[in-house]
Structure 1
C-alpha cells in the first residue's frame, strides 16, 4: 500500500505541478479573482485528481433518529455537533469520506462540517462572514495535502485546515470554527439517545468503505512535498490541535489525558480509524478525544496528522511534555 501511494503521489505531483498556473485554472474557474491571493508560490497548489465538484459536497442533508439507524457500526467515527437549544447531530465519516463538506444549519446557525481524509482534519465552521452566508464546495485542489474548498458566492478558494480564504475576492477572510469532535457512533448514541444522525446521501458511493486503506500507517502523506514534523514525530501521527498548539495523541493516551495551558484533553477507547482498514468499521481503535476549557466548556479543536500541523503552523508549539 505504501509503495502504491508513493507511485500515485509522484504521478499526481508531476501532473499537478505542470498546471500550477492561474492561466490554466481560469478555464475552469472564470469567476475566481486570481489577482488576489495569500499564496506565495502557485506550485503549492495542485490537483488532487477530481475536478471542481468532482467530490460532491452536500447541502440540506436528511437526518433520522439514532435509534432507527441500523447500517452504521457502533465503532464507526462521526463528527458530533452540539449547539445549545438544538438536537445534537452526528455526521458519519462513512459519508464525509466521499463528500468532505456538508452545508447544514443547526439552531439557526449555518454551518459547514468538513473532513479532509488526507489530513484526518475534521472541523466545523460557521458559514457566516461579514458580507453574508457562504455555501461551500470541494475544488479538487490540494495544498500541503489539505483540501481546498471554494465558496459558491464569490468562487474564492479556502484552506480547510485553517479556515481561511487563500485565493479570490475574500482572501484573508477567516471562518469561525465551532466546537465539534470525532467520536464513535455508539458514544454519540449513548449520550444522545434522542439525537439525530445524517441519513445516507442519494449518491452511488461505497459508503462504509475506506478508499484510503492503510493510509494512516504510511510513511509519507499523499501529494505532500513539505518537511517532516520535528522531534521525530511521524508525519501521520495524530495530534490534537488547539489554536497553535499540538499535543501528540500518543502522549495523551499514555498519560490518560492532559490538563495544561488552560486546556483539558481527555481520551477514551472505542472509535475506529476511518483511514486504516478498507472497511471503516474494522479500523483499529484510535479512541475519542474531548477538549474542554477550565470551566468544562467544549473547545474548537482538530485531531489532524502531524505533517499538516507542521505545514500550516510552522511556528506552532509542540506539547511534548
Structure 2
C-alpha cells in the first residue's frame, strides 16, 4: 500500500520566538564536525542548499571558520545577514555571571556578526572557570564549579537580551525538571530548548511543556547520529520512506517538523546536505505509525547527566 506523496513547503516552516523577536527556521544545520577543516565549505554549501538556521558553539572550536563562510556569502550579496538565524552557545566553563558577556562577545567576534539570534547555555552544568574547556582532576574526573547556580547564569543571559545584541536566549541538554525551575524563576523566559530527540527518544512530555510556554524544541541527533540501534533502519521508518518515495532521513526530519519541533542535521557531503533540506509533509497515517508503532526508547548522548558531550560525529559526512 502506498501513500499519496504531498509536495509542499514544509522545509520553509518557521517557528515564532516567544519574546516576539522573530522566528526560527525549523530546518537547521549543525556545525559540530569531527574534521574542523571541512567547516567553511560545509556551511557555504548548506547556505546554497537553502539552510537559513545555523547552530554553533564556543565548544565546537570552529566559530572562526563558520564566520569566514558567513562573511564570504554575505559579501557576495546573495544572502543577507537578516535572512540567517544564528545560534551559538555559552560553554560550561563560562557560567559565572562575570564571564558570560565576554564569552558572548568572543563568539560574536569569531562568527563576524554584530548580533546573535539565539544564545543558549550549552549544558546546565558549571565547570571550573578558566580557559581549559575540559577541566579534570588528577584522576580524570571533571572539575565542577559549585559556586554558581544555573539561575545566576540565566540572569546574566537575560542582561544580554536587555542590551539588544542577543535576540533570544535558551537552554540545551536540560531535563524537564530543571527547565521547569528556570521557567518558573525567569524574568525572560527561555525561547529555545535544544535536546536530543528522535523517534527512539520523542520527549513528548517535555515537548508538551514547551508548547504550553511557547518554547521552541530544537532537536539534535534527529537521525540518531549513526548509533545502534539505528533509527534510519527502523522498519516503520523505512516502510514509510518507501511508500512516500523519500529517504528514511527525510521521513525522520519531516516527522520532527510536523510534530512542532525544529531540528539540526550535520554533514560535509553536498548530496547529504541537499537531502536533509528536501523534506515534504508526511500523511497523517505515517505520523501515527511513528508515534504508535515505534516502541524502542534510548538516549544516545549522556550529556544531560554529566555536562560532558557524549559523542561527536563518527565521520564528517
TM-score bin (small chain):
under 0.3
- Which structure shows the higher strand fraction? 1
TM-score normalised by structure 2 residue count? 0.24
Higher RCO structure, 1 or 2 (CA under 8 Å, sep 6+): 2
TM-score normalised by structure 1 residue count? 0.24
- Which structure shows the higher helix fraction? 2
